[in-house]
């Protein structure tokens, strides 16, 4: 295992003061897997006040101090140093009420969630692996440290961490851990929405997300009850060869591996169960499912504390995912104007994932249409066609100079001009725009 110099420096300074210090947790797991660790955590016999005193040249974040953690801000990056500890009784299935410092690293490892996360490593002393984490790593198995039910009762977030690690690492879940998680799934409702979202972001981006959520759908539904009806909703349509939940998971898997794109895929058809109806042909229809999905998704995303901007990004995708291809030029321009180049790219990414999750004969037909829309949008952008108010050849200032008073009418006039330019009714040239603006202003507010 290779350890960065600045981590070695932290270990060495703690040990020079007579306190054992080890690399622990995710960095040991990832290093053994040959993956680059996201961060390096240090566990040590030193107390937080000692850590603070012994690294006086660095600033430190003390937010976790009550739990024994000090974050040292080294120039190479932050390093978390946590005192060996055991957790006191847990409250609210979320966090220990208190922690007690432990004398030995082995005791500290026992409080950790999964065996693969409960290993310690030191460059001179080597690996400490009291729970068989290395064997589980080699077998690709997630197993709880200790009794799964007790561990999930202590902290229900571990249920989502279990799914997250399974999805990200492509590991299987030990049957006892799965049974324990299932038994404790009702506790997921106690978790803070921020923590749920943070875990689900990572779970959704994992390369094994479909498999993990297929096998553990009940766990996800315990955290996101709004989605449970998807699993009981058949499509009954020649376009689909999976039920709505199966289709959704395939779309998630096919969507770009970034959180908002994956959330949009997870939610894109969530309105279907609510609007399912049978037509005279005896087939199921889902008219209005995108709009129904927007309403459901809006509430779900608000509950999980998505920012307004993130929420709008996802809701735009849910609303627009089902548009009929091919796009006319006018339609393309409107979408580009509404979503911006990046948002439009996202929409095509979702539409592509949606198509890949439908019956295979459709993909062959529809994927080229999506590629064509992408190319046409690029051409529009490259030509610099007017898409927004900023791109109009007529500015607010031009109208003010004509004596139009500032205010909402001026804004409405410009927006109307943009509409007509986007629709191809009007060329984006100043004289014509000016003439049309005067016409609109003369017609008065009733016409706008």
Q: From CA 116, how far away is CA 72, in angstroms rounded? A: 25
- Residue 155 binds which entry of ligand ATP, Mg ion, none, with Cβ cut-offs from 5 to 8 Å by kind? ligand ATP
Minimal distance, residue 179 CB to ligand ATP, in Å: 19
State how far the alpha carbon of 272 is from the alpha carbons of 96, 310, 438, in Å: 41, 23, 47
H/E segment holding residue 77: strand 77-83
**Number of residues in contact with Mg ion, rule: CB under 5 A?**
2
Nearest to 46 by CA among 123, 105, 88: 105
Minimal distance, residue 131 CB to ligand ATP, in Å: 11
Cβ-proximal residue to ligand ATP, closest one:
26
Complex with ligand ATP: residue 72 or 335, whichever CB lies closer: 72
Minimal distance, residue 95 CB to ligand ATP, in Å: 8
Q: SS3 of 426, please?
A: coil
Minimal distance, residue 75 CB to Mg ion, in Å: 20
Minimal distance, residue 206 CB to Mg ion, in Å: 16
Complex with ligand ATP: residue 37 or 349, whichever CB lies closer: 37
Q: From CA 112, how far away is CA 92, in angstroms rounded? A: 18
Q: Are 42 and 4 in contact (CB under 8 A)?
A: no
Minimal distance, residue 114 CB to ligand ATP, in Å: 7
By the rule CB under 5 A, 198 interacts with Mg ion: no
**Cβ contacts of 419-425, under 8 Å, gap ≥ 24:** 421/386, 421/392, 422/330, 422/333, 422/334, 422/337, 422/386, 422/387, 423/330, 424/329, 424/330
- Residue 158 binds which entry of Mg ion, ligand ATP, none, with Cβ cut-offs from 5 to 8 Å by kind? ligand ATP
Terminal C-alpha separation, the chain = 69
Minimal distance, residue 15 CB to ligand ATP, in Å: 21
* Look-up of token digits 């729970």: 131
Q: Are 339 and 383 in contact (CB under 8 A)?
A: no
Complex with ligand ATP: residue 26 or 229, whichever CB lies closer: 26
Binding site for ligand ATP (CB under 6 A): 25-26, 38-39, 41, 112-113, 117-118, 155, 157-158
Complex with Mg ion: residue 105 or 317, whichever CB lies closer: 105
Complex with ligand ATP: residue 82 or 313, whichever CB lies closer: 82
- Residue 181 binds which entry of ligand ATP, Mg ion, none, with Cβ cut-offs from 5 to 8 Å by kind? none
Residue 314 burial by Cβ neighbours in a 10 Å radius (0-12, 13-18, 19+) = buried
Show the tokens assigned to 273: 């169960």
- Residue 355 binds which entry of Mg ion, ligand ATP, none, with Cβ cut-offs from 5 to 8 Å by kind? none
Nearest to 255 by CA among 116, 349, 333, 120: 349
DSSP conformation class of 144: B
Q: From CA 401, how far away is CA 437, in angstroms rounded? A: 13
Complex with ligand ATP: residue 115 or 235, whichever CB lies closer: 115
Options 4, 6, 9, 26; binder of Mg ion; rule CB under 5 A? 26
Q: SS3 of 270, please?
A: coil
Minimal distance, residue 38 CB to Mg ion, in Å: 6
Q: Which stretch binds Mg ion (CB under 5 A): 21-29, 86-94, 363-371, 432-440?
A: 21-29
- Residue 294 binds which entry of Mg ion, ligand ATP, none, with Cβ cut-offs from 5 to 8 Å by kind? none
Complex with ligand ATP: residue 155 or 253, whichever CB lies closer: 155
Cβ-proximal residue to Mg ion, closest one:
26
Minimal distance, residue 266 CB to ligand ATP, in Å: 21
DSSP conformation class of 132: -
Backbone angles phi, psi at 93, to 5 degrees: 55, 30
- Residue 129 binds which entry of Mg ion, ligand ATP, none, with Cβ cut-offs from 5 to 8 Å by kind? none
Show the tokens assigned to 430: 């100043």
State how far the alpha carbon of 301 is from the alpha carbons of 75, 113, 254, 304, 312, in Å: 36, 28, 21, 5, 10
Minimal distance, residue 218 CB to ligand ATP, in Å: 21
Complex with Mg ion: residue 39 or 49, whichever CB lies closer: 39
Q: Which stretch binds Mg ion (CB under 5 A): 37-45, 81-89, 190-198, 411-419?
A: 37-45
Complex with ligand ATP: residue 113 or 316, whichever CB lies closer: 113
Q: From CA 355, how far away is CA 445, in angstroms rounded? A: 44
- Site residues (CB under 5 A) for Mg ion, limited to 291-320: none
* Look-up of token digits 């009007």: 426
Residues that bind Mg ion (CB under 5 A): 26, 39
């Amino acid at each position: 295992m290779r350890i960065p110099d600045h981590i070695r420096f932290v270990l060495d300074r703690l040990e020079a003061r007579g306190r054992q210090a080890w690399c622990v947790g995710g960095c040991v797991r990832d290093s053994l897997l040959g993956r680059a660790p996201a961060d390096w955590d240090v566990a040590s016999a030193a107390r937080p006040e000692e850590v603070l005193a012994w690294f006086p040249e660095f600033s430190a974040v003390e937010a976790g101090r009550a739990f024994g953690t000090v974050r040292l801000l080294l120039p190479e990056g932050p390093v978390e140093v946590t005192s060996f500890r055991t957790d006191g009784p847990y409250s609210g299935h979320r966090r220990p009420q208190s922690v007690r410092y432990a004398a030995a690293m082995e005791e500290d490892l026992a409080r950790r969630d999964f065996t693969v996360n409960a290993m310690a490593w030191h460059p001179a002393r080597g690996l400490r692996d009291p729970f068989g984490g290395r064997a589980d790593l080699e077998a690709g198995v997630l197993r709880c440290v200790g009794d799964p039910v007790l561990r999930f009762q202590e902290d229900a977030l571990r249920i989502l961490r279990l799914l997250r690690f399974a999805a990200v690492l492509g590991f299987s879940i030990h049957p006892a851990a799965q049974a324990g998680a299932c038994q404790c799934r009702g506790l997921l409702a106690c978790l803070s929405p921020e923590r749920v979202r943070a875990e689900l972001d990572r779970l959704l981006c994992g390369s094994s997300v479909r498999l993990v959520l297929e096998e553990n759908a009940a766990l996800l539904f315990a955290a996101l009850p709004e989605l449970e009806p998807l699993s009981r909703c058949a499509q009954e349509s020649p376009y689909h060869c999976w039920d709505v939940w199966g289709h959704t998971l395939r779309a998630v898997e096919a969507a770009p591996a970034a959180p908002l794109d994956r959330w949009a895929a997870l939610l894109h058809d969530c309105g279907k169960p609510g609007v399912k109806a049978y037509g005279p042909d005896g087939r199921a229809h889902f008219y209005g499912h995108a709009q129904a999905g927007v309403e459901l998704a809006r509430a779900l995303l608000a509950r999980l504390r998505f920012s307004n901007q993130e929420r709008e990004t996802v809701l735009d995708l849910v609303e627009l995912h089902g548009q009929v291809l091919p796009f006319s030029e006018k339609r393309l321009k409107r979408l580009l104007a509404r979503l911006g180049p990046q948002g439009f790219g996202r929409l095509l990414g979702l539409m592509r994932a949606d198509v890949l999750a439908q019956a295979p004969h459709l993909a062959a037909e529809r994927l080229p249409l999506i590629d064509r829309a992408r190319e046409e949008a690029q051409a529009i952008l490259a030509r610099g066609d007017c898409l927004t108010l900023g791109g109009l050849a007529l500015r607010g200032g031009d109208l003010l100079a004509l004596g139009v008073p500032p205010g909402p009418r001026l804004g409405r006039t410009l927006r109307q001009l943009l509409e007509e330019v986007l629709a191809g009714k009007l060329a984006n040239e100043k004289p014509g725009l000016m003439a049309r603006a005067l016409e609109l202003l003369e017609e008065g507010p009733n016409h706008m």
